[in-house]
Amino acid sequence: MTDEILNKEREILYACIVLGRKDPLVAEYWELVYNTVRKTYKIHGVSYDDDCLNSRRNEVFIQLFQNDCRKLRQYKEELGQGLAAWIKLITIQTVQNSFRASRRISKIPTVPIDDIDLTIKPEDDENNMAVREALESLDNEDKLIIKLFFIKACL
């Protein structure tokens, strides 16, 4: 990496972290983030449109600027990777996290309202067994959330 590139990256980081100016970083890495988001979607075989890509790109910049630019402060020039590589890594992780979140949401079973028998009391053994079976199909994190919700609701 040339000294010119290193100096430019240092100036951008200084402007962002110390001076609070985000525009130089956004202007410099706007396309890189967008293209990395698009490439990550393609690699994972997830369909997308321009709105989706723009939304994820914006999420990446939010990640970079959150908590007083914490992610940018974590960048270590001495490790030999440029700022662009660091931003690319954060971009990929942000997009992959969004995939995980959408998978968790899609796991939640939906039951049409017409299929729910409101005359059944929650104490019925058959109903309890159906709930237990449904809980068993969930991962531990989702089970915990549901259990905590019902325990808190019963208090």
pLDDT score recorded for residue 155: 46
Most confident of 53-62, 116-125, 146-155: 53-62
- Give me the pLDDT at residue 127, please: 65
At 98, is the pLDDT very low, low, confident or very high (cuts 50, 70, 90)? Answer: confident
Task: Name the residue with higher pLDDT: 152 or 8.
Answer: 8
Confidence (pLDDT) at 123: 57
Distance of CA 115 to the CA centre of its chain: 34
Q: How many CA atoms lie within 13 A of 105 on its CB side?
A: 6
Closest CA to 30 of 20, 38, 41: 38
Residue 112 has pLDDT above 80, yes or no: no
Tell whether the model's pLDDT for residue 121 goes beyond 60. Answer: no
Mean pLDDT score of the chain: 82
Tens digit of each residue's pLDDT (9 = 90 or more) over 38-74: 999 999 888 889 999 999 999 999 999 999 999 999 9
Amino acid (one-letter) located at 110: T
Instruction: Please tell me the predicted confidence (pLDDT) of residue 71.
Output: 93
Domains of the chain: 3-107 (1.10.1740), 113-154 (no CATH)
Tell me how far CA of residue 121 lies from CA of 54, 125, 127, 128, 146, in angstroms: 47, 9, 8, 10, 19
Give the number of C-alpha atoms closer than 13 A to the C-alpha of residue 61, restricted to the C-beta side.
20
State how far the Cα of 108 lies from the Cα of 24, in Å rounded to an integer: 42
The H or E element that residue 102 is part of is: helix 83-107
